[in-house]
Structure 1
Amino acid sequence: MGTHRAFARPLLAAVAVAAAGISCLAVAPAQAKRPTPPPPTTATPPTYPTSVVGVSPQAMAKPNESGRTIRSLTMDNGKFYVGYGDFIVNGGPTKVSTFDPVTREFAESGLTAPTEEITTYRRINGKLYAPWTDPTGMPSANQGFSTNESGTWTNEYKAPAEHVFDVATLTGSDLWMVGSAKNVAAGKGGAAAYRSTDGGTSWSMVASDTSITEVGRERYYWAAALNGKMYMQAEAVQEGAPLRVFDGTTWTTMPDVNPCYTLETRAVEVFKGKILCTNYTKGVVAFDGTRATTVLPTTGWNVLDFDIPGDGFIYALSPGAIYRSADGMTWTALAKAPDLAWAIGVHQGTVYVGQRLNGTIVKLDGLNATTATGTGTTPGTTPCKGKSGKTC
């Protein structure tokens, strides 16, 4: 909708922002001094040649260069669903489209999502959901997500949200969507979480956070279910916002734990009993519901995207390197990231990388990600416990 109110996307990688044409937010509010995580080992990951496997005509149809950025590659039934667009500079609705790594063909689902950007696709009960990061519809209309839950792709207008950044489930039968509410006449839009317990027919707002003087940047950028509890935390609340926890009946807060300082939904995944996410000030953090542990310290590049292809590993992409982990705690650098790397998808051992600005997907030649030994193993660091007096 273009109603960003001076909001700009965060600093994803120190030297990539200028090239991407994305400005950064002001630094986070001052917090208690954190312990400095130990640096990763200095072994340099190998460099592999790349081959261009396709250029998305749907992404290239966007009217601006940043909108042609490939933001996610989600495998489903042998094809990657391609996330692309840019909700800061807008650029119109976004077609739900796929890329077949075997035939190297792009195809359209037949559905155009009313959002400036599809940031990611979430899989729930074997179906895909594409949150409407920045809806293009009328400000007074309900917003929601696109999904193939019914067997065909449809647009679902569900709640009076302004942005929908993530879709999740706690019980397997409920649905959640989080983002921000509309800035109503009272001036209180703010971060908002909506839940449906009747299959998506009706929705109610179940959590919210905003500043005393709401300025339109307060949002929940992610929601993740772990061990029977739903977690989320608002960003850009001027007075700060705690980690919110819902156990199916009651809401509580964890004010001393801040695992996921990220404004990128695709940089949050649940794997092997942990919420893994990017924290812009620390690196990749693993949160087990009690403790937040820095497991992949930042080295000047933030992790942009995760992929869980079902081969027993989770993969992480930064503009500097591609990493792999079997447990979410110890990571191995598999390869140097190709130029313009912005999204990752792994299929049958082959690593595919979506690039920014040019709608291009490349593959790394000569690398079998499943069997590679990698280099530069990075051990997990000393964890912070929520009630230990340390800020995580």
Structure 2
Amino acid sequence: MGTRPLSTRRHLVAAAAATTLGLGCLGGLAAVPAQAKKPAPPPPVSTALPTYPSSVVGVSPQALEKPNESGRTIRSLTLDDGKFYVGYGDYYINGGPTKVSTFDPVTRGFSETGLTAPTEEITTFRRINGKLYAPWTDPTGSGGTNQGFSTNASGTWTNEFKAPAVHVFDVASLTGSDLWMVGSANNVEPGKGGAAAYRSTDGGASWSLVAKDTAGSGSERYYWAAALNGKMYLQAQHMAGAPLRVFDGARWSTHSATPCSTVEARAVEVFAGKILCTNYSLGVVAFDGRNATTVLSKYKGTVLDFDIPGDGYIYALSATGIFRSADGMTWTGVAKTPAEAGSIGVHNGTVYLGQRLTGTILKLDGLNTLAAPATVRVASTRTIQ
């Protein structure tokens, strides 16, 4: 008999072995199932924020009137009746009074209200009972005279000179019928000055000094006021420990938490039953009246500005990214921040950004926040107190 080629013999042996295994009769050896192919590892999850192009939609002629670059910084964009009220100016380098003006995102036009506020800077606009209030961050008048805020509460914009303050950083309401303004008191006379809060319970006709903090330097400040669950909260800055003062409608007390750093009022908002604010050492902190919780890490960048446009979210702007949250606790990244952006406003899903130094307003192209944009989860909550 002739010899079969090696390749043929291998095929026969393989066939015989397969038959024997199929019958279960190969010398007591059990059948071994073929191993399934291992699945490929999942692709790495990207933590990079989406990047969108931006385009210039306007340059504020009112901001350009300021005599220095810093005074031309767009510090806030507050949406009201379809238009953004534009905060701008310079607290540190005096640049004269500031016109109350608006930007229309549809027509892309700037308009003046006809009122000029006697302050070097309008940092933010606060909405109380459907009306706007612009605190006088750095009044142009004498420190020994009454200062206050600009408002359209009467139906037209007016300047309201209410108390002998040196700075008015924020305006708030505890009951909905009262008004508060906080900042620092008259420091012209010896022994005066320090953090000061004034309250009116008669529609703004008369005002009383209701809280004061001083360590003797006269530079102490209340930079913000926030009402939560029937209590008014003020944090005394430039004081040892930055104590958090609490007014329950009848008495004052001091809370053990110190949620916020020395930040402008635009970096403090009440949302979803929490005071949200910037803490330089931690990030964004949520305070519910009992505990202070870090909800957005400082490594995402210091938050400069918040916006609550009425779409169910609060938006936060840092130098690195734009983030949003529906509950104040869980945050997602929406987009990477363009260079020099310093303030944020959202209108019909479009993100608008005020730039530093140039009076310029940008918009992010290709992003509509109402269409559930691709987001990156960035939350890492941690209760600190």
- What's the CA shift for 1:42? 6.8
Q: Is the 8 A contact 2:97 2:116 kept in 1?
A: yes
Q: Which residue of 1 aligns with 2:63?
A: 59
Q: Match of 1:116, SS? A: coil
Unaligned runs of at least 5 residues, structure 2: 1-44
Please tell me the residue identity of whatever aligns with 1:161.
A
Alpha-carbon distance change, 42 to 143 in structure 1, aligned in 2, over 3 angstroms: farther
* Cα distance in 2 for residues equivalent to 1:241 and 1:270: 20
Give 2:293's aligned residue. 293
Q: Secondary structure at the match of 1:299?
A: helix
Gap runs ≥5 in structure 1: 1-40, 386-392
TM-score normalised by length of structure 1: 0.85
The match for 2:225 is: 223
Any conservation in 2 of the 1:283–1:302 contact (CA below 8 Å)?
Answer: yes
CA distance in structure 2 between the partners assigned to 1:84 and 1:202 by the alignment: 29
Partner SS, residue 303 of structure 2: coil
Q: Which amino acid aligns with 2:228?
A: L
Assess if the C-alpha contact under 8 Å between 2:178 and 2:200 holds in 1.
yes
Residue type of the partner of 2:250?
A: T
Deviations 1:13-51 (A, max 9, x none): xxxxxxxxxxxxxxxxxxxxxxxxxxxx97010110111
**In structure 2, distance between residues paired with 1:316 and 1:111:** 29
**Do the aligned partners of 1:44 and 1:375 also contact (CA within 8 Å) in 2?**
no
Name the aligned partner's letter for residue 164 of structure 2.
Answer: P
User: How far apart are 1:361 and its partner, in Å?
Assistant: 0.2
Tell me the residue number matched to 1:46: 50
Query: Of 100, 105, 110, which aligns to 2:109?
Result: 105
Which of 116, 120, 129 is matched with 2:120 structurally?
116
Partner of 1:13: none
- Residue 224 of structure 2 aligns to a residue whose secondary structure is coil
CA drift at 1:140: 2.2
Aligned runs of 1:301-316 on 2, under 5 Å?
301-316=301-316
8 Å Cα contact 1:293/1:380 also seen in 2: no
Aligned to 1:7: none
Contact in 2 for aligned 1:325/1:331 (Cα 8 Å): yes
Whether the 8 Å contact between 1:334 and 1:372 is mirrored in structure 2 is no
Q: Which amino acid aligns with 2:181?
A: M
The answer to whether structure 1 residue 185 and structure 2 residue 186 are counterparts is: no
CA RMSD of aligned residues (A): 1.2
The 2-side partners of 1:352 and 1:335 are apart by 12
SS across alignment from 2:266? helix
The answer to whether 1:246 aligns with 2:236 is no
* 1:289-340, Cα deviation, whole Å (9 max, x unpaired): 0000000011162000000000000000001100011110011110000111
Q: Distance in 2 between matches of 1:293 and 1:273?
A: 13
Matched, 1:370 2:370: yes
Question: Whole-Å Cα distance in 1 between the matches of residues 374 and 136 of structure 2?
Answer: 37
Distance between the aligned counterparts of 1:375 and 1:75, measured in 2? 24
Greater RCO, 1 or 2 (C-alpha within 8 Å, sep 6+): 1
Structure 2 residue 147 is matched with structure 1 residue 143: yes
Q: CA deviation at 1:90?
A: 1.2
Write the deviation string for residues 77-107 of structure 1: whole angstroms up to 9, x where unpaired. Answer: 1100000001101100000000000000000
Equivalent residue, structure 1, for 2:270: 270
Structure-to-structure mapping, 1:1-392, within 5 angstroms = 43-211=47-215, 213-214=216-217, 216-237=218-239, 239-254=240-255, 256-299=256-299, 301-385=301-385
Percent identity over the alignment is: 73
Asked if the contact 1:79/1:101 (under 8 Å) is kept, the reply is yes
Q: Would the aligned equivalents of 2:183 and 2:196 in 1 still touch at CA under 8 Å?
A: yes
Q: Distance in 2 between the 1:194 and 1:380 partners?
A: 37
In 2, Cα distance between the equivalents of 1:218 and 1:344? 28
Aligned with 1:222: secondary structure? strand
Aligned residue pairs, count: 341
Q: Is the 8 Å Cα contact of residues 122 and 128 (structure 1) preserved in structure 2? A: yes
Take 1:140 and 1:253, find their aligned partners in 2: how far apart are those partners?
Answer: 30
Q: Which structure's residues are more often helix, by fraction? A: 2
CA contact (8 A) 1:332 1:374 kept: no
Residues 152-199 of structure 1: CA deviation (Å, up to 9, x unaligned): 000000000000000000000000000000114333310000000000
Q: Which amino acid aligns with 1:329?
A: M
Give, in whole Å, the separation in 2 of the partners of 1:141 and 1:184.
10
Report deviation, 1:364. Answer: 0.2
- Relative to 1, partners in 2 of residues 1:66 and 1:229: Cα closer, same or farther, differing over 3 Å? same
Q: Which SS does the other structure have where 2:62 is aligned?
A: helix
C-alpha displacement of 1:384: 2.6
Say if 1:184 and 1:138 are closer, same or farther in 2 by CA, change over 3 A. Answer: closer
